[in-house]
Structure 1
């Protein structure tokens, strides 16, 4: 499953690493946009297979930021 950025912003903090398991609605990373912190959450449970971004990267709304299997 692809995890998408919900809005444009900078990747402020990555909370989970490749290989970590996540539950539905658990934070994977936090974006910073207009001085606000926006959590990007898992939409289902699984294991982080790949992170497509690094801390400090800029993402646009709809960009794939992680893959969960």
Structure 2
């Protein structure tokens, strides 16, 4: 299963889809807030969201897995 990782450290501000949702390449999966900016974490390939590995409000680090796709 492909795993999407956070490109930066910050706090998860929102999930943009739900498990079992289909996503296309470039679709936002979640929003990371860092330094008062909101940065979307996008799908790197088309697929289906299996699960989120982080909850809204959680702190994430650069390179941390955040979403599993299939």
Which band: TM-score by shorter chain? over 0.9
Q: Give the Cα–Cα distance (whole angstroms) in 1 for the partners of residues 35 and 6 of structure 2.
A: 15
Q: Does 1:35 align with 2:36?
A: yes
* Aligned counterparts, 1:26-65, within 5 A: 26-65=27-66
Deviation at 1:50, TM superposition (A): 1.3
Q: Give the Cα–Cα distance (whole angstroms) in 2 for the partners of residues 44 and 5 of structure 1.
A: 15
Q: CA RMSD, aligned part only?
A: 0.4
Please, which runs of 5 or more residues in structure 1 have no aligned partner? none
TM-score between the two structures when normalised by the length of structure 1: 0.98
TM-score between the two structures when normalised by the length of structure 2: 0.96
Q: How many residues align?
A: 69
Match of 2:50, SS?
A: strand
Please, which runs of 5 or more residues in structure 2 have no aligned partner? none
Extract structure 1 runs of 4+ deviating beyond 2 A: none
Q: Give the Cα–Cα distance (whole angstroms) in 2 for the partners of residues 15 and 50 of structure 1.
A: 12
